[in-house]
Structure 1
Amino acid sequence: MPISRIAIGRREEATHPDALRAALAEFISTLIFVFAGQGSGMAFSKLTSDGSTTPAGLVAAALAHGFGLFVAVSVGANISGGHVNPAVTFGAFVGGNITLLRGILYWIAQLLGSVVACLLLRFATGGLSTGYFGLTSGVGVWNAFVLEIVMTFGLVYTVYATAIDPKKGSLGTIAPIAIGFIVGANILAGGPFDGASMNPAVSFGPALVSWEWTNHWVYWAGPLVGGALAGLIYEFFFICHTHEPIASGDY
């Protein structure tokens, strides 16, 4: 059972050089991802006089986030596992593939990376607004909550299938691009309704810098529930538990 493999971790892990290096890698990867994704939206709005909600803007956002995540996961994979997302870290934790203490380090690094990326964007663009995630007209909070659960489930399930599963074999070589593809596809599907976050860190940075917290809980609760469900289901049904839990640095 995945639950039996959940571990708090040793207190020394919080200051171990390997864990700190992994946290730094998560900070840098998340900064790269948020800077590219959020920055592309700001650039498109500037070029089109705030036309980021057009079909072309939606496609641009999907491509920028997909490409950015592909790179962010790739550069962090050999150090931290390239989570770049608190929901991915949480899904790995409930599946017994990362300790709680290491997961907390990742969360702190991911949130800081997002905030720094948004601050850099605001400075580099002369004070332009970074925007923030919000619901569109006609979309209720519970609609968005379910949407975030489903989209994040697909993302974390993809992470498990291509990166965490010990039986993945050569499939692991395409993990970053598969993860980028599913995020891009989900943005095309859910972007017009709630922005398609799938990532609490991606929502947190713009919300903090813009100081806009309306319905912000949706962008935490939905992804965390979706990530946890994906981790539990994949671990319980598809991973052979004769294998030892893999180290987080191995994926």
Structure 2
Amino acid sequence: MSINYHIHRRIAVGTREEATHPNALKAALAEFISTLIFVFAGEGSGMAFNKITKNGSTTPAGLVSAALAHAFALFVAVSISANISGGHVNPAVTFGACIGGHITILRGLLYWIAQLLGSVVACLLLKLATDGMTTTAFELSSGENVWNAFVFEIVMTFGLVYTVYATALDPNKGDLGIIAPIAIGFIVGANILAGGAFDGASMNPAVSFGPALLSWSWDNHWVYWAGPLIGGGLAGVVYEIFFMTHTHDPLPTTDF
């Protein structure tokens, strides 16, 4: 069986009715709320650290603070939405799941809209709660090459989505329970320690979009979309081809 056939046979487009199906709308709302919680805590921790240290978020202490805040917040965000939407909280995770047919393309688009709105609302709430402090858009560190940052985002997001596949999407994973969101939070925290000093370590287009919109700063913003989506897609392809053993048929296009 060819690789193309193996992947294409699992991708499901979905139907127009899915856009208004109650289950899909509930799942999208869950993604909105969980992304809002994640971005509010993650972005807010950076703003708080900057206020305390006078813009010292790129110091070692700042990186550790960001890593812990994002790891803890993502653990919570995934946990509270896992049984409703799958706990994606990230367009790159949703895209990787679409590659393997774990979610339809139309439902994935609903998730994307909800995730982006959640990020924007979180940044608006932060601006309101801090009397107008500006949310900081992701940007390359001084002297950092854009293509190096691009590679960083691909590799880091590959690790994240591969972890999601291994702990949450694989039907043979067994009952991992709370281990899945813990592992997902840990890999994000670890990646921030690895790549935060180079490009901020986004791994999530929604996390990058909200602050960029509120601060209207779009320099090299494409890196924070293209890198995570490529990395997430590659993780989905690799896991599906080499490790996934399905115990059921691919997701039907009429399934929500």
Both proteins in one fold, TM over 0.5: yes
Instruction: Decide whether the 8 Å contact of 2:10 with 2:251 is kept in 1.
Output: no
Instruction: Identify the match of residue 53 of structure 2 among 48, 52, 62.
Output: 48
Structure 2 residue matching 1:39: 3-state secondary structure:
helix
Structure 2 residue matching 1:171: 3-state secondary structure:
coil
Offset at residue 173 of structure 1 (A): 3.3
Instruction: Decide whether the 8 Å contact of 1:163 with 1:172 is kept in 2.
Output: no
2-structure distance, mates of 1:4, 1:204: 32
Query: 1:1-251 alignment to 2 at 5 Å?
Result: 1-245=6-250
Q: How many residues align?
A: 247
Instruction: Decide whether the 8 Å contact of 1:22 with 1:80 is kept in 2.
Output: yes
| Greater than 6 Å deviation, 4+ residue runs | none
Offset at residue 243 of structure 1 (A): 2.8
Task: Show structure 2 runs of 5+ residues with no match.
Answer: 1-5
**With structure 1 as the length reference, what TM-score do the two structures score?**
0.96
2-structure distance, mates of 1:67, 1:244: 35
Instruction: Decide whether the 8 Å contact of 2:12 with 2:251 is kept in 1.
Output: no
1-structure distance, mates of 2:142, 2:92: 26
Instruction: Decide whether the 8 Å contact of 1:197 with 1:203 is kept in 2.
Output: yes
Instruction: Decide whether the 8 Å contact of 1:29 with 1:73 is kept in 2.
Output: yes
2-structure distance, mates of 1:57, 1:236: 39
Structure 2 residue matching 1:43: 3-state secondary structure:
helix
Offset at residue 246 of structure 1 (A): 6.7
Instruction: Decide whether the 8 Å contact of 1:69 with 1:179 is kept in 2.
Output: yes
- Structure 1 counterpart of 2:120, which letter? V
Determine what percentage of the aligned residue pairs are the same residue.
Answer: 79
1-structure distance, mates of 2:196, 2:251: 34
Q: Structure 2 vs 1, CA of residues 173 and 246 (structure 1 numbering), >3 Å: closer, same or farther?
A: farther
1:139-165 alpha-carbon deviations (Å, 9 max, x no partner):
111111110000000000000000000
**With structure 2 as the length reference, what TM-score do the two structures score?**
0.94
Q: Structure 2 vs 1, CA of residues 246 and 171 (structure 1 numbering), >3 Å: closer, same or farther?
A: farther
- Structure 2 counterpart of 1:123, which letter? L
- Structure 2 counterpart of 1:201, which letter? A
Task: Show structure 1 runs of 5+ residues with no match.
Answer: none
- Structure 1 counterpart of 2:183, which letter? A
Structure 1 residue matching 2:101: 3-state secondary structure:
coil
1-structure distance, mates of 2:76, 2:53: 27
